[in-house]
Structure 1
């Protein structure tokens, strides 16, 4: 996975009084600062003066959020953290954030140390979004250098709030991927995750340890972050990990927690993919036994499990079984703007899923405009889209309504014809 240390020009996004809705993540809201100008929408709002005023108002609101992260009220701090998270998830704010990154980092550090539960969770997530905005380089490295010891302390502290530990387990993984500059430190962080998820291993006699649902979620998050960091390990590190962990990871497939079983299955598929990339002739001694387990999970009919859990599990494990047995991956196409990207490997899937967890509905926007994320997925520089192309891409609400109405009428007619031809069973 490419990781560039070179900083590139990034711009801020204009916004109104409610800057963090899903619509703001769409292509229509991108400003000229991000090289995605929509002159038609600017004209509708009264021209460049209105855009500048909206940008000023937006930045004023962000400054208010930053100030409020040190408020005495925990509720106010929580709201400020969530406001900053929403902005960073749906905008490119590099210039604004770069000037204030240490102030924001200090606020995150304070909230992690002195906050509780939800506040710590929000602070941990904000740290990831801050690194995503800054990209891979000296700025994000400085942020992570300040926060990494706090993350690791919370993660290892059994008496710390479980929600905070869950959030840190996820955030530490992504921040390490983005901002860690030493591969040995990456390996040390992976060992922190190993110390958690290995506690969910089934015992030698096949019985599972008694673990509460919140703790199981912590172990699952740790496993997924560990899997994410597998994607940037060296060949020597991967060889050691395959030898040490691949024989034991199938024990997690016995877990009572469906999320842990799925995370374990996807991690095993990822390890097989990485192993075969290094050596096409890779062979696993316990392959038959593993495939039997995966096959059982792909056709699970256990009456004690919820139907939704079983459906979700079967779908995932059919793909995992194909990956382990045949080295296949069920590819998926992601469309954003005028572009598309193929998720064609377990490496890409784990990376995409992790980024999407933090930016949510803003993922398509970041794929278009965030140079760091485009670099990660090898998409090249952001593509300039002129206003004519943008206009052609849009469909007005009225046109959508007409299209949906026509489709509804066509379906109704077809169904009525079918109903007319049916035989009335009561006549016989």
Structure 2
């Protein structure tokens, strides 16, 4: 058999295997394309009185229609299928769909990988990259092997893609699935990966044609937030040791201080939030170590340039530069007020969500940053996933209360537990060597700038 025909036959077999694993739609495929395209509106039109099982059946049916259309030749059909698929996975918790067939997640990822690796359009690739993240959110158990299946492709796309939007989406997806599915070692590797992007000012993201400064600033902001997310994953709420959290923060602090002086407001805020996160994590881990240890715990060292850092944060929290538009000044001031309180006073921010009659309280930078990452993917579907998806509950470990607003305010005035329940201290996270290397690279970079 000629090589091209064998290759085509292999692709067809892969597609058919994926479709067989996912099953066929419960409803008939007979009918016009317009009828299929209208099916999402039919789902949204289900009355509140409809049985949950009926809604779940309709959602599963639509997922299978989307999967079937992903194998079509026409790019426009695949784009429409990916748009629907992403909307369904974000709006509804579809864990039962994957649990019904243990191999269905891998089968769906195979189809998404195909659309990302050889897309018919940039839009198809962007939708596929987001879909990969949404699949991991919807089936959060034991996904380390599947993480390895998409890791190289996402990294290669971040480096080689020419479209900034695609790079941005792949960075977001890589950070989120690392949070969800990666081992501690792979999470540390992700931390180093995003640090290299930051310390090089995005040089590793440059394709053959140089990116404009605005586009590069957007990617650097996304990388800052990705770094913060993985730092929160490793050290938030008492995870890891305070020594490792401290060493890592000292290694990357010079790069973050450089970004505090960025011309981009988004970069300044993202860097500031990471700085506050690192101070918060070290403080919480140190306090947790003191409470858990039977012996005296070494005192937490002070950051050597704390006065200069506080002065810089103070300026950013009161910036009245009229060359910056009024809305940007307002957003920056609001963000840096919380940031400086965390750095200078050890104060921890709080964020409330009221869902299903319950007040969900997210305390500390780590949980707030993780919540923002899930919100970016799920949008309006965040509320349903918080109620039904155990993955979010396990990752965020949020406090839930059923009290009235006044009761909540009273409870918040009291000292709350600093370290999240259910997290165990891990003693095998030795980052001192890599942190020292990062500090040296940061010093070399600063010296080269001065020269």
Q: Please report the TM-score for the alignment, with normalisation by the length of structure 1.
A: 0.72
Deviation at 1:19, TM superposition (A): 6.0
Equivalence for 1:231? 232
Deviation at 1:238, TM superposition (A): 2.3
Q: Deviations over 1:269-289 (max 9, x none)?
A: 001111212336441111111
Matches within 5 A, 1:398-417: none
Equivalence for 1:394? none
Matches within 5 A, 1:41-56: 41-42=49-50, 55-56=56-57
Deviation at 1:377, TM superposition (A): 2.7
Deviation at 1:72, TM superposition (A): 2.1
Structure 1, unaligned runs of 5 or more:
1-14, 30-40, 43-47, 202-209, 384-428
Task: Tell me: CA distance 1:134–1:352, structure 2 relative to 1, closer, same or farther (3 Å).
Answer: same
Equivalence for 1:389? none
Q: Distance in 2 between matches of 1:237 and 1:156?
A: 29
Q: Distance in 1 between matches of 2:64 and 2:138?
A: 17
**1:105 matched to 2:109:** yes
Matches within 5 A, 1:253-268: 253-268=260-275
Equivalence for 1:7? none
Deviation at 1:52, TM superposition (A): 5.9
Candidates 370, 376, 379, aligned match of 2:395? 376
Q: Distance in 2 between matches of 1:351 and 1:141?
A: 19
**1:347 matched to 2:366:** yes
Q: Distance in 1 between matches of 2:372 and 2:55?
A: 32
Maintained 8 Å contact 1:252/1:260 = yes
**1:302 matched to 2:333:** no
Structure 2, unaligned runs of 5 or more:
1-37, 203-210, 235-239, 288-299, 403-451
Task: Tell me: CA distance 1:258–1:188, structure 2 relative to 1, closer, same or farther (3 Å).
Answer: same
Deviation at 1:105, TM superposition (A): 0.5
Count residues with an aligned counterpart: 334
Maintained 8 Å contact 2:43/2:58 = no
Q: Deviations over 1:30-74 (max 9, x none)?
A: xxxxxxxxxxx13xxxxx6xx766554433322111111232222
Q: Distance in 1 between matches of 2:224 and 2:42?
A: 34
Equivalence for 2:276? 269
Q: Distance in 1 between matches of 2:194 and 2:252?
A: 13
Q: Distance in 1 between matches of 2:269 and 2:245?
A: 21
Candidates 127, 133, 154, aligned match of 1:128? 133
Equivalence for 1:72? 73
Equivalence for 1:400? none
> How well do the aligned residues superpose, as a CA RMSD in angstroms?
2.6
Maintained 8 Å contact 1:78/1:118 = yes
Equivalence for 2:248? 241
Q: Distance in 2 between matches of 1:243 and 1:320?
A: 17
- Classify the secondary structure of the residue corresponding to 1:71: coil
Maintained 8 Å contact 2:310/2:343 = yes
Maintained 8 Å contact 2:136/2:177 = yes
Q: Distance in 2 between matches of 1:101 and 1:342?
A: 32
Deviation at 1:89, TM superposition (A): 1.1
Maintained 8 Å contact 2:79/2:124 = yes
Q: Distance in 1 between matches of 2:385 and 2:53?
A: 22
Maintained 8 Å contact 1:170/1:221 = yes
Equivalence for 1:331? 350
Task: Tell me: CA distance 1:103–1:294, structure 2 relative to 1, closer, same or farther (3 Å).
Answer: same
Q: Deviations over 1:283-334 (max 9, x none)?
A: 1111111111111111111122111111111100111111111011332221
Maintained 8 Å contact 2:280/2:365 = yes
Task: Tell me: CA distance 1:56–1:362, structure 2 relative to 1, closer, same or farther (3 Å).
Answer: closer
Q: Distance in 1 between matches of 2:66 and 2:361?
A: 37
Deviation at 1:256, TM superposition (A): 1.1
Q: Which has the higher contact order (CA 8 A, sep 6+)?
A: 1
Deviation at 1:211, TM superposition (A): 5.7
Deviation at 1:237, TM superposition (A): 4.1
